[in-house]
Structure 1
Amino acid sequence: MNFLYNILIHVAYFIIQCLNLFNKKLKLFVNGRKETFKKLASINSNDRVFWIHAASLGEFEQARPIIEKLKIKYPNHKIVVTFFSPSGYEIRKNYHLADVVCYLPFDTKRNVKRFIKLVHPDLAIIVKYEFWPNLLNELKKSNTTTILVSGIFRKEQLFFKSYGQWMRKFLHTFSFFFVQNEISKELLNDINLKNVDVSGDTRFDRVSEILNQDNTIETIELFKNNTYTVVAGSTWKEDDECIVNYINNQAKKDEKFIIAPHNIDKSKIEELRNSILEKTILYSERNNVNLSEYKVLIIDNIGLLAKIYSYANAAYVGGGLATGLHNILEPATFGIPIIFGGNKHQKFQEALDLIAIGGAKTILNTSDFSNIFTILKKDINLRVKMGNINQNYIQHNVGATQKILNYIEKNIPS
């Protein structure tokens, strides 16, 4: 099976190299990896290193509170952060607490041997998932302490199938698992993995700290002008169709909208803007205008969404009608109702939890969207109830980072 995997991984990379000529994201994926070993050359053989791997931006946010604590506790260690996806790397490639930010090399034996030799980490932290067989084998061979943080497992995964023995053996390369829920722990226990603790999700620690920062954005205050405001964050085309339909047909005069699309490509932004019949302005056009006159504000840059949620009376979080749900914990921490689309949230424990306790609701189409936002606009008591549920949920689930730090401090000397 190892032989077959190694053939397939080379074939897959060859195909990706061919396809990158026609796909912008794949081009970033391929070209970015050409720089990985050059960047790692800055790591010296006598450096002590922590390596953190995040598949994409969401997983990086789970790693971030851990990195911040490690930087304080272990100031002499270097931090290497790797990404698999361009959507994570391109946004966080200049992360100030990391000494090196780069792409994870493709999982060939030659690549991972070279990678581990250059990085020689005291500790490898893999966030949530990313189980690359050759990489995990090499970490085991090098006796590297390897932990999974904010992990979540489901019985549908290959590890837990009768025919999943080959993949299952790679889970035994981990020194410890910090998982999000009891179900994950039980699944691992059932395959004879006892080195597991239910620590929760480190993103709760991250988002809870948002309340302690200055979330003021003058542009948003001027636009909102003390008016009921819906913030739609990380939206895809499928989400935008629901939002635009509501704005154009059902929205009240005393109701404003802030839309922060996932894709801020100029042509996509203009397409969204042209579909809206109400008076609309882009964030980049904010200077020298009376923002309070506009009904819709489209955010055409990145990095502001978490703060923008603080101005919302209700939030819609995108992705669920498209590829996968984006971060619902950021709006939850501000104590506002949360709506999201689709039925692709089963992999997100927080989404399942908030639906179950009544802090969030889902929609499947434009009709659902209009119905729920019409109700939320009218019913302040419902908004307060849902918001309180969400804020309490965040506060009840903080603490995962400290549990992980306690383990690291016991196993990695300063």
Structure 2
Amino acid sequence: MYVLYSFLVFLSLLYYLPATVWKLKIRRGEKLHLKERFGLSFSLPSPEGTSIWLHAVSVGEVLSLQTLIRALKSRHPDWTIYCSALTNSGYTVAGSKLGEADHIFYVPFDFAWIARKFFKRIQPRLFILAESEFWPNLLRTARRHAGGVLLVNGRISDRTGRRFRRFRCLVRPLLGNIDRFLVQTAPDGSRLQAVGISGDRIRVVGNLKADIQLPPMNGENAAVLRSELNCPPVAVVLLAGSVHVGEDVTVLKAYAESRDKRPELRLIIAPRHLDRVEVIDSLCIQMGFRVVRRTGEEPARDWDVFIIDTIGELARFYAVCDIAFLGGSLIPWGGQNFLEPAFYGKPIVFGPHMKNFAVLAARFIENDAAVVVQDGAALSRVWSEGTKSEWKKTGERARMTLDSLRGATEKTVKEIEAFIENNL
């Protein structure tokens, strides 16, 4: 199985790599770090004592490890923490947000001969995966060269669970490389058991993202930021975060309809992918909006749409908005993490497609801490008809709901420590 898989990975690289080089390196000027990913050149030092390697795919997974790495380093300052990411955005955010990690690097391409180089250099006592990142060769190599392999903040969606059951004969040996599964919810654990993972290898510890800690933002600080944005004091600031392709058009149309009724509305929009910025900018101009970008000129006082075209700043803007809409939810993507606006006590709005955060979303809806809209028309009504006092109450319930969900970091740290004590 692994030989065939490696051959398919090789063919995929031959097919996709030229286009990726053209898109990212030539057109955008981004570095691909190919020498590092192929294990031809990397500057990771070997550890002097106990080392832990944590791997995350992209921004969301990286941020989920923030409190865990901080807690591990606080309790075990002599441990060397290595953290890898797959995407450029994940690597960038890891560099700015994971200050307690000793070394941050790009994960190697999924070939066993490359992975072995990294494991021999890092010599991890534990290899830890975040959420649902299952690379066959990486996992198999980790099983052979690391002291133990753990999954943290594990999330197995309904769709993934169905695929696992369909290909159980392949999935079971793949997951067999993992010693312990620390999952977010009981349904996540049940989906693992359905493909043959024994219950004694599964622990339900909650969602690490619920332990989020962001910079405090009081009323005075928020007012200063709004002033920097040249946002009028009477303005009602809407924020649409992590908006996906196509969904951005729906959001802009909903905003246009809302502004006809409430001209004091202002929209801050953050596309999920930055290559969508130019399109959104053009759409705004076509619709008659006065638009500025985060990286552009100083915002004029009379802007209508403010585009966040940077990575890692979205949480700061959640702190100053009056209401937050989370993207990936009006299309069948599965939603985006909405705990950052909840941390700042902001009312949360999302669409019907929240399968990636189903349990969390249900909890917030049950507590009247979030509003579900079915389409752009419903979103427009929320924006145009809601009052600040109503939104403030919803935001307060969102913060209380978030506080009730905390504790996953402490449980995860204890499970890691217990695993090391009992097995290594």
TM class by shorter-chain length?
A: 0.7 to 0.9
Structure 1 residues 239 and 187: alpha-carbon distance in aligned structure 2, compared to 1, 3 A threshold: closer
Q: Structure 1: state its 5+ residue gaps.
A: none
Q: Which amino acid aligns with 2:317?
A: I
1:283-298 alignment, distance < 5 Å: 283-284=294-295, 287=298, 291=301, 293-298=302-307
Contact 2:335 2:355 in 1 (8 A): no
2:86 — aligned with what?
84
Percent identical residues: 25
Q: Secondary structure at the match of 2:55?
A: strand
1:15-414 alignment, distance < 5 Å: 15-24=15-24, 31-36=32-37, 37=39, 40-44=42-46, 46-93=48-95, 95-156=98-159, 157=161, 160-161=164-165, 163-190=167-194, 191=196, 192-206=198-212, 209-210=213-214, 212=216, 216=221, 218-221=224-227, 222-251=230-259, 252-264=262-274, 267-268=278-279, 270-284=281-295, 287=298, 291=301, 293-321=302-330, 325-341=335-351, 343=353, 345-349=354-358, 350-377=360-387, 380-381=389-390, 383-412=391-420
C-alpha distance after superposition, 1:6-57 (max 9, x if no partner) = 3222222222223324432899999324224467433226453211100111
The CA distance in 2 between the partners of 1:242 and 1:329, in whole Å, is: 23
Q: Offset at 1:76?
A: 2.4
The CA distance in 1 between the partners of 2:75 and 2:47, in whole Å, is: 22
Aligned residues: 407
The CA distance in 1 between the partners of 2:410 and 2:396, in whole Å, is: 25
Structure 1 residues 19 and 303: alpha-carbon distance in aligned structure 2, compared to 1, 3 A threshold: closer
Q: Which amino acid aligns with 1:396?
A: S
Q: Which amino acid aligns with 2:282?
A: E
Contact 2:351 2:372 in 1 (8 A): yes
Q: Structure 2: state its 5+ residue gaps.
A: none
Q: Which amino acid aligns with 1:179?
A: V
The CA distance in 1 between the partners of 2:56 and 2:6, in whole Å, is: 23
The CA distance in 2 between the partners of 1:115 and 1:66, in whole Å, is: 22
TM-score by length of 1: 0.86
Q: Offset at 1:401?
A: 0.5
Contact 2:24 2:31 in 1 (8 A): no
2:8 — aligned with what?
8
Q: Secondary structure at the match of 1:59?
A: helix
Q: Secondary structure at the match of 2:200?
A: coil
TM-score by length of 2: 0.84
Contact 2:336 2:356 in 1 (8 A): no
Moved more, 7-16 or 316-325: 316-325
Q: Which amino acid aligns with 1:304?
A: E
Q: Offset at 1:201?
A: 0.8
The CA distance in 1 between the partners of 2:29 and 2:205, in whole Å, is: 34
Q: Which amino acid aligns with 2:369?
A: G
Q: Secondary structure at the match of 2:171?
A: helix
Contact 1:247 1:276 in 2 (8 A): no
The CA distance in 1 between the partners of 2:53 and 2:339, in whole Å, is: 26
Moved more, 261-270 or 325-334: 261-270
Q: Which amino acid aligns with 2:7?
A: I
Q: Which amino acid aligns with 1:49?
A: S
Structure 1 residues 153 and 283: alpha-carbon distance in aligned structure 2, compared to 1, 3 A threshold: closer
C-alpha distance after superposition, 1:37-90 (max 9, x if no partner) = 467433226453211100111000111111111222222222211112233124
Q: Offset at 1:127?
A: 0.4
Q: Secondary structure at the match of 2:356?
A: coil
Task: Compute the RMSD of aligned alpha carbons.
Answer: 3.1
The CA distance in 2 between the partners of 1:269 and 1:47, in whole Å, is: 50
Moved more, 367-376 or 356-365: 356-365
Moved more, 36-45 or 119-128: 36-45
Q: Offset at 1:256?
A: 2.5
C-alpha distance after superposition, 1:262-282 (max 9, x if no partner) = 344563463244145244443
